[in-house]
Chain A
Amino acid sequence: MNRFMRTSFLAILALIIGSASAQANQGRVAWVMNFDGDWNVAGGLPEKAMLISLQGLANRDAPRLYIVHPPDFQWEITGPVFEFYQRKHHVDFTDVATADDALTLFKQYAKGYVVWDKTVGASLNVAFTIAGLEDAVVVSADLIALVEQHGLTPIDDLRGRYTDMSDAEIYQDAYDRYWDRCIKDAVMLMGGHRGRVMQPAMADWGIQRKMFFHDLSANPIHPVELALTKRLYEEMEPGSTVFGWHPYGKDTEEQATTLLSGYGFKMEGLHNLPNLSFNSQFTFTEGFKFTNNHNVERNAVLQAEEKVYICFVQSDSIGIGVWTKPGRGLLPFGWQVTMNWSRYSPAALEYFHESATPNDYFIGGLSGPGYMYPNHIPADRFPLLMEEANDLMTLLDERVLEIMDNSAADGNVGNTDLTKETVDLYYENFPDVIGFLNGYGPSRTRDLRDTRPMISYDYYIDPKRPREAVTNDLNELIKLNAKRPYFLLVHVRESNDVNSLVEVTKNLNGPVEIVPVDVFLKLAASNKTYTTRYQDPDEPKHFEGY
């Protein structure tokens, strides 16, 4: 097809896009682009940033553009969910091959363009903010000619505006110019990768919803940035959500999450979580009801034998890591579901549900209705947040809540314990769960009240640790914890694979049984061979926060 015919064809398609948006979920048309893995600022990033901004605008009032990422992208499920949309929602996708084609199809949703400065990374975030407010596509200088060919005109140009300015100064300027017009129940912490590689795949969502974009640090070594972050949070609505992820190299996940938890906010990441502007506009398919693979009745009473009971859980948010790796289904496995996806990505949750094997069991998390550190949630916000979490767990047919507070930890090691006050609050606010899991790295908060145990991870499987060493570690725990039954809860870090764990389990010593999460908790309620323990104020805390 020559260029004229191709452009004409795409233009006709563009005319029908508007009418397509009025269609119901079932049987709609949409478009799909396939991204490669090049996110280099000097390579593929500028075009991707433009397309993602266009996606946010095109999807503002209807799901029109979906992006499929390569299988090795951190969110490995874009392909399977794309297939799910076709099969279950009967979405008829048309491929969009190039950025030029995408502009032909979707330029009608943009009023112009904003230019970011490739030499100032933060300017991309400011441009995203402007894109949401002004309906602009985001371009670098070398893409101006392309968008102008499609009749788009300049709305703003950030080249030179932020030269030699610090991030704090840049975002203060953006705050002064744009913050008042941005929504106040959500903000886009567009951090993550910085420098030569950036992955702002979640920007479509922030643009669609007119969020303020930034990558301010929560690290006290950046006091001006920290102060501005606090100012944003103080001016946001109660119960707000921080989308995105903390900026690598400026602060830590622990610092950023501790800070937002202190405001009673929820974190929803990562910065490269794609397609929320598309996914959020679908509901579960008609008649679908989320039903978990419960292995025991809620009120069942089990009796543990003199055995070692092992339970595997992956808690790095379902959708990254183990789910699509070989071997899933060979072992009973617990999967922490990011419960908010029932609002933002119902199709993804439904996909997980339909592709679950009988050995896959879903649990709620993380700590509440989003990722947050409960030791820092204000007491007056806790019941409201946990009511939200309870509702989500009911919707998702989940009976186990996973908790994680890394505010005093150092990555996946260190102090991940809950204070007694926090434990009290969980027992009070979750009367219907069958139990709680706690930790990320190993932890030692444990309790049993009525029939609801709270068990912490005794082991964290580092995906890089040789399997022989993992086997020896587990055998050592089994030897040290000599009372039977022994309840050994294992956190399987994302990017492990189940096949390798099958080999590990074959080489464990003693009367070992691998059980699903719900069975594990019921058994742990029957014979408390573990101590009751909470965070000890005397224990060291690795905390470099404010």
Chain B
Amino acid sequence: MKNTPFRKIALGVLVTLWCTVSASANPEIAGKWQLDIPRSSPLSGWQDMALVIAVDGTEVEFTHQMRWRRTNYRATNVVDTSKTVTSDAFFRVEQRHMAVYPTKGGLSHTTAEWIDADRTLRTETQTMVEISQGDVPMRITSEYRIGEGAETLTWIALRSSRDRPLVYVFRKVKEKDSE
């Protein structure tokens, strides 16, 4: 394949874009965030939630720490602002009192981007869920909005199947508090 001037320019643009995306990851999103239950949409089938978020270049890793009675459950989703991430174990904060389950063996595809001057990470996931009538697709659009001073994180999740978004407000857990 010839290394034409056009290819060089295109490659340069791509590299610049990649660098921009990489550089724009807002490190303020990293850390542990504890759900502010009174200010959030009510959970159902879970009693508490915390998010532990780690940033590594273009990758953002969300570990959901869920609690239900004596059961503690951990599930991690990884998104990448430079590419679509495919997962066979995507975790959805489901309303567990609804008969809506992850499809067995189903794959989920997630894209992510920083928007609003890097104050918001927006993700979009296409996933499959099992309902009583079989398997159907669900789209989940999420925005993780970093509050002023990075004291709060607001996660707004809108599902293609639900007309109203779920809004979860988190407070940053100081390091000394999480020890």
A interface list, Cβ under 8 A from B: 410-414, 441-444, 446, 456-462, 465-466, 469, 472-473, 475-477, 479-483, 486-487, 529-531, 536, 538-539, 542
Whether A443 contacts B99 by the Cβ 8 Å rule is yes
Query: Are B101 and A476 touching (Cβ within 8 A)?
Result: no
Q: Are B99 and A413 within 8 A (Cβ)?
A: no
Q: Does B12 sit at the interface, judged by CB under 8 A?
A: no
Would you list 17 pairs from A and B whose C-beta atoms are within 8 A, ordered by A residue?
Answer: A413-B45, A414-B96, A443-B99, A444-B99, A444-B132, A456-B99, A458-B131, A465-B42, A469-B41, A469-B42, A472-B164, A480-B131, A481-B133, A486-B133, A487-B132, A530-B132, A531-B134
Q: Are A410 and B71 in contact (CB under 8 A)?
A: yes
In the complex, what residues of A have CB within 8 A of residue B130's CB? 444
Q: A442-B96, A465-B97, A469-B41 are in contact. List 6 more A-B contacts (CB 8 A).
A: A413-B45, A442-B97, A476-B98, A477-B100, A480-B100, A480-B129
B residues 64-112 near A (Cβ < 8 Å) are: 68-69, 71, 95-101, 104
- Contacting pair B162 A472 (CB below 8 A): yes
Complex interface residues of chain B between 26 and 53 (CB less than 8 A to chain A): 41-42, 44-45
Q: A411-B69, A473-B97 are in contact. Are A446 and B44 (CB under 8 A)?
A: no
Q: Which residues of B contact A446 (CB under 8 A)?
A: 132
Asked if B99 contacts A477 (CB within 8 A), the reply is: yes
- Complex formed: what's the CA distance from A481 to B136 in Å? 8
Residue of B nearest to A491 (CB): B97
Q: Cβ of B171 < 8 Å from any Cβ of A? A: no
Contacts of B100 in A (CB 8 A): 476-477, 480
User: Which residues of chain B are near A472, meaning CB under 8 Å?
Assistant: 162-164
Check B44–A473 contact: CB distance below 8 A. Answer: yes
Residue B161 is within 8 A (CB to CB) of chain A in the complex:
yes
CB distance from A171 to the nearest CB of B (A): 25
Q: Would B98 and A473 count as touching, CB distance under 8 A? A: yes
Contact B98 A459 (CB under 8 A): yes
Q: Interface size on B (CB < 8 Å)?
A: 28
Chain B positions within 8 Å of A, measured between CB atoms, are 41-42, 44-45, 68-69, 71, 95-101, 104, 129-134, 136, 138, 159, 161-164
Q: Are A536 and B129 in contact (CB under 8 A)?
A: no
- Bound state CA distance, A411 and B131, in angstroms? 21
| Contacting pair A477 B98 (CB below 8 A) | yes
Residues of A within 8 A of B159 (CB): 476
Whether B68 contacts A458 by the Cβ 8 Å rule is no
**Minimal beta-carbon separation of B115 from chain A (angstroms):** 26
CA gap between A483 and B100 in the complex, in Å: 15
In the assembled complex, which residues on chain A have CB atoms less than 8 Å from the CB atom of B138?
480
Give the complex CA separation of A469 and B134 in angstroms: 24
Give the tally of cross-chain contacts (CB within 8 A): 92
Q: How far is the CA of A481 from the CA of B133 in the complex (A)?
A: 6
Q: Which B residues lie within 8 Å of A411 (CB)?
A: 68-69
CA of A479 to CA of B130 in the docked complex: distance in angstroms? 13
- Residue numbers in A under 8 Å from B133 (CB-CB): 480-483, 486, 529-531
A412–B162 contact, CB under 8 A?
no
**Top-7 shortest CB links A-B:** A442-B99, A458-B99, A413-B96, A460-B97, A413-B45, A476-B162, A530-B132
Which listed residue, B42, B96, B163, touches A441 by the CB 8 Å rule? B96
CA distance A459 to B132 in the complex (A): 11
Residue of A nearest to B132 (CB): A530
Give the nearest-CB partner of B100 in chain A: A480
Residues in chain A near residue B99, CB distance under 8 A: 442-444, 456-459, 477
Chain A contacts for B104, CB-based, 8 A = 536, 538-539
The CB with the most chain A CB atoms within 10 A, among B71, B98, B99, B138, is that of B99
Question: Which of chain B's residues have a CB closer than 8 A to the CB of A458?
Answer: 98-99, 131-132
Complex CA distance for A465 and B96, rounded to whole angstroms: 12
In the assembled complex, the Cα of A414 lies from the Cα of B42 at a distance in Å of 19
The interface centre, meaning the residue of A410, A411, A413 with most chain B CB atoms within 10 A of its CB, is: A413
Residue of B68, B97, B101, B162 touching A459 (CB-CB under 8 A):
B97
Identify which of A462, A475, A482 contacts B97 (C-beta below 8 A). Answer: A462
Give bound CA distance, A457 to B130, whole Å.
14
Output the least CB separation between A77 and chain B (Å): 27
A446 to B134, CA, bound (A): 11
Chain B min CB distance to A16 (Å): 53
> In the complex, A444 Cα to B135 Cα: how many Å?
13
Q: Name the CB-closest residue of A to B101.
A: A444
Q: Known interface pairs A458-B132, A469-B42. Does A412 touch B161 (Cβ–Cβ under 8 Å)?
A: no
How far does the Cβ of A141 sit from chain B's closest Cβ, in whole Å?
Answer: 36
Least CB separation from B69: chain A residue: A411
Minimum distance in angstroms from B145 CB to a CB of chain A = 22
Measured CA separation A125–B164 after assembly (Å): 52
Residue of A at shortest CB range from B137? Answer: A480
| A contact residues around B131 at 8 Å (CB) | 458, 477, 480-481
Interface core residue of B41, B96, B104, B134 (most chain A CB under 10 Å): B96
- Say yes or no: A413 contacts B162, CB within 8 Å: no
Taking the closest CB of chain A, its distance from the CB of B120, in whole angstroms, is: 24
Cα distance A483–B135 in the bound complex, in angstroms: 12
Chain B residues with CB below 8 A from A459, complex form: 97-99
Say which residue of B42, B69, B164 sits within 8 Å of A410 (CB atoms). Answer: B69
In the bound assembly, the distance between CA atoms of A466 and B164 in angstroms comes to 14
